[in-house]
Amino acid sequence: MPITILQPSLAPPPKPRHEDSHSDSEGGADLEGDIAMGRPAKRARTQDSSIMTPGEIITDDPQWMRGHGTYVIPGASSNTILSSVAGTLAKTNKLLSVRPLRARYTPEIGDLVVGRIVEVQAKRWRVDVGGTLLAQLPLSAINLPGGIQRRRTETDELQIRTFFSEGELLVAEVQQLYNDGAAVLHTRSLKYGKLRNGVFMSVTGTGGGGGGGVVRARRQAFTLDISGTDEVSGSEKIDVVLGVNGYIWISKHIEGEGAAAETSGPGITRIEESVGLNVYSSQNDIIPVDTMREIARVRGVITALVENGLRVDEEMVIKGYQEAVEMAKEERDSADTLWLGGERGKRLTKALVGR
Amino acid sequence: MSSTSQHLLLSPAELAYLHGSLSLTTPGPIRPDGRAPAQFRPLTAETGILPGTNGSARICFADGTEAVVGVKAEVEKTPVSPYEFVASTEGRKDHSTSIPQKKKGRKSKKPTEDEETTMDVDDEDDDEEEAGDGSAAVEKVRGSPDWVELSVEIPGLRDDDSGTVFLTSMLTEALLADGEFVKKLWINRRFHWKLYLDIILISPPLSYPLPLLSLTTHLALLATRLPRLKSEADEDPMFDDDWAAATFLYPRQDTSSGKASNKSKQSSAAAAAAAPASRPPITLLVMAVGDNIIFDPSKEELAVADSAVAVSVAEGPSSESEPESDSIPATTTKRNLHLLSVRTIDPPSRLTPPGVPNSVNASAWGTMTAATPTTTTTPASANEGGAAKHPDARVTETEDVVGVWKAPRGGAKFAMLGAMVAKVLERGGVAEEVLDGLEGVDLG
């Protein structure tokens, strides 16, 4: 079946009918005014499920304090607190804040991010990390090929495009933040650097309160063993890098390389002895067909997780992948066992949540 | 030819991987989202979303791209050329028209510009005249491409952007190619419907929007209804006020809805008689990577396409109609698909920067320590001394190296073009499935 056409459905689960009629019959003054839109008049009861829109009045009760995602009109004498983002209301004691449904990535020091070079300047690169501002990667914050430790010379500046050029992907760590929220990255570890042998995908990153997307976790990069599936010959592995910014890289695992490599490996001091000579290569290795297929499967699992509003972290991806392999085994006859969208994605996540 | 979209930034390693996985032959291509080669992204479709239009539709892809099409119709006077002669006026009772009618003998005059595009009134007029039944059915229905106005709006692009213009012209071409569509707009000799199609992409163009826009347009046209005509023949048109009695522009053949089924007897009947089961055209985006043919490519898939083609297909009359020259000989199928147009699309892959093989990449192996390569996967790593001597060498003209991206050169191969078109048109193929799927949408 090449095409699936679905009926449109309401995004949020509809509230029970009787609740609406009940609030109507109360007959009291509608505090929300013209924005009620079938929402129960008393927000306090259903605060978790309702969505605030920017500019919407949350409360005018003076006992509340305003938190993130809210504002008060300056100069106005009233204590009206309004929402400044679209999201769900959260209350912490007397603090009101609105958690945005989706937001751009706000970098924090130490975050592992996947980024794409968008601009090459004289001594630095500008990197798209999905934030409001481009991050920057100074020439001095990368490893030179071969692990040589020396000052960056003019020759290096002239050759800056041989390290990273426009469009290339890299995995890096946030080293420093500016006042405006812009990040400075570094790749001074063998775990970081240019990415190859795989596919890129972008999902919601941290900052969104919608539930889905990549969350900050203990380990953002891990290796997935795909030799458990009987179709895969040999012991192939897949690296998954879940950038905190929601950019994800799924690639073939190469021993001793990549962000998922063991941290007990060679450190910065022993770079020159290590194997990481091809950190700036843009040539892919020969990738077995099985590995490609499993990479596509992992990508499908992550897409299904995001579409169904589940968080994306190591545990969920590994579980989801195992579940997807099981699903593929069950329906070996049908052709499209790799496709995890639509109905199959729902089944997958249902199985995951049900565990 | 037109470039598919704005600059798409992908790294050479990604491009090489995508191209490698899409050009696999033994298990077929592995698409990054796991779809089968001919599988479309699941879509959500609904019609009748804009109450102010004659027909509207909205389609939303699972990846978030969304389009809305509204069809509006207005009655417009047909400019009648004084040289024009319509045979059946002789037998007509009502001469409400003030346009001078010429004698039959004048018909051999040179046709005006408008007439060149219309269906030619040929010699069989004589027979009909003799038959003299005076009904509208024998009247020659004609149409003009001017009767359809189509506008495409893509967010972030100017409406005179080459991409938008190309999309507009491609969709217009599909509609007008066989001249059947405009004939449906014919009311009588003096009046016709003018159709305005507003095609709006709501989301940013996450992938090349042509198939989405085409499918949405198709659905909107399927849902388009025109008021039922009450007047007869060449009178000034009078319409039924009752919207429930309005007739579908494309009558449904054997659905349960009674209001649609009687359409073929009514208004501007000849149009319906000419094509009782025809459907609006659809334009499908097909791309080829290696020997694989892939439908509905996503943005990153299109970025590694060797060639991409937009194939417009229309469904003709279902049964034993006259065999057209370019129609696929489908005598027993229920759908008679015929090809309207094939347009090559310039895939963005041509603009991508090439990857640098390790053999010439100074940084990949270290300028000084190049003597001991640790990986010997590529045969190209043999001539590495050259790189050490010229560390700056950015060789663009290299031969093919496995795992290194190189933008495709040249156009689509003829055999591949033929295969792509055949794949669209084949019996039980993609076009049929798509038409079946769209037909299943509730026209509410």
Report whether B112 contacts B144 (CB < 8 A). Answer: no
3-state secondary structure labels for all residues of A231-291: CCCCCCEEEEEECCCCEEEEEECCCCCCCCCCCCCCCHHHHHHCCHHHCCCCCCCCCCHHH
pLDDT per residue over B253-290, tens digit each?
Answer: 644 333 333 433 343 343 333 344 678 899 999 999 98
- Other beta carbons within 10 Å of A279: 27
Report whether B33 contacts A341 (CB < 8 A). Answer: yes
Give me B393's structure tokens: 């060498």
Name the residue type at position B93. Answer: K
> Smallest CA–CA separation between B415 and chain A, in Å?
24
Contact B13 A169 (CB under 8 A): yes
Q: How far is CA B424 from CA A63, A122, A154, B431, in A?
A: 66, 50, 56, 5
> Smallest CA–CA separation between B15 and chain A, in Å?
9
Angle (CA) B105 B106 B109, round 5°: 130
Of the two residues B128 and A114, the one the predictor is more confident about is A114
Averaged pLDDT, B396-410:
75
Q: How far apart are the first and last CA of chain A?
A: 30
Taking CA–CA distances from A9, the nearest residue in chain B reads B44
Contact B365 A277 (CB under 8 A): yes
**pTM (two decimals):** 0.76
Q: Which of B146, B178, B142, B125 is nearest to B268 (CA)?
A: B142
- The burial of B169, by beta-carbon neighbours within 10 Å (0-12 exposed, 13-18 middle, 19 or more buried), is given as middle
Chain A contact set for B285 (CB, 8 A) = none
> What whole-number percentage of chain B has pLDDT above 90?
16
Query: Within 13 Å of residue A62, how many CA atoms lie on the same side as its CB?
Result: 3
Q: d(Cα A341, Cα B32) in Å, to the nearest integer?
A: 12
Chain B contact set for A196 (CB, 8 A) = 11, 13, 17
B139 secondary structure, DSSP code = S
pLDDT per residue over A149-168, tens digit each?
Answer: 788 888 888 888 888 988 89
Domains identified in chain B and CATH numbers: 3-78+141-352+408-439 (3.30.230.70), 358-398 (no CATH)
- The burial of B305, by beta-carbon neighbours within 10 Å (0-12 exposed, 13-18 middle, 19 or more buried), is given as buried
> Nearest Cβ partner of B433 from A3, A9, A342?
A3
Give me A215's structure tokens: 């969350």
Taking CA–CA distances from B35, the nearest residue in chain A reads A339
Name the residue type at position B310. Answer: A
**Contacting B residues, span 397-436, partner chain A, CB-CB under 8 Å:** 401-405, 430, 433-434
pLDDT per residue over A21-45, tens digit each?
Answer: 333 333 434 444 444 344 444 444 4
**Contacting B residues, span 3-22, partner chain A, CB-CB under 8 Å:** 9-14, 16-18, 20-21
Q: d(Cα B401, Cα A273) in Å, to the nearest integer?
A: 28
Residue B382 three-state SS: helix
Q: Taking the alpha carbons of B105, B108, B110, B113 in that order, is the dihedral positive or negative?
A: positive
Give me B184's structure tokens: 């449906």
Q: d(Cα B7, Cα A116) in Å, to the nearest integer?
A: 14
Confidence of residue A241 (pLDDT cuts 50, 70, 90): very high
Q: How far is CA A33 from CA A28, A30, A38, A82, A87, in A?
A: 12, 6, 11, 14, 19
pLDDT per residue over A60-104, tens digit each?
Answer: 888 999 898 899 888 777 788 999 988 888 888 899 988 887 788
Provide φ and ψ at B214, rounded to 5°: -65, -45
Name residue, tokens 């995001």: A306
> Nearest Cβ partner of B355 from A169, A283, A300?
A283
Report whether B193 contacts B183 (CB < 8 A). Answer: no
Name residue, tokens 């198709």: B218
Chain A contact set for B394 (CB, 8 A) = 161-162
Angle (CA) A224 A226 A229, round 5°: 145
Chain A contact set for B21 (CB, 8 A) = 292, 296
For position A186, what pLDDT does the model report?
A: 93
Average pLDDT along chain B: 72
Give me A251's structure tokens: 């690639």
pLDDT per residue over B351-385, tens digit each?
Answer: 888 888 877 776 665 443 433 344 433 444 334 44
Contact A289 B13 (CB under 8 A): no
Name residue, tokens 């109609």: B321
> Smallest CA–CA separation between B73 and chain A, in Å?
26
Give me A320's structure tokens: 């989801």
Answer yes or no: is pLDDT of B4 > 50: no
Report whether A268 contacts A189 (CB < 8 A). Answer: yes
Helix or strand holding residue B414 (H, E): helix B414-425
Contact B36 A339 (CB under 8 A): yes
Q: Any idea which of A86-100, A214-228, B392-406 has the lowest mean pLDDT?
A: B392-406
Q: d(Cα B136, Cα B241) in Å, to the nearest integer?
A: 22
For position A21, what pLDDT does the model report?
A: 36
Report whether B158 contacts B116 (CB < 8 A). Answer: no
Angle (CA) B30 B36 B40, round 5°: 125
Give me B395's structure tokens: 């060789």
Contact B11 A5 (CB under 8 A): no
For position A17, what pLDDT does the model report?
A: 34
Q: d(Cα A130, Cα A127) in Å, to the nearest integer?
A: 9
Averaged pLDDT, A200-226:
74
Q: B355 — contact with chain A (CB < 8 Å)?
A: yes
Q: d(Cα B429, Cα B303) in Å, to the nearest integer?
A: 25
The interface pTM score, or ipTM, of the predicted complex is 0.81
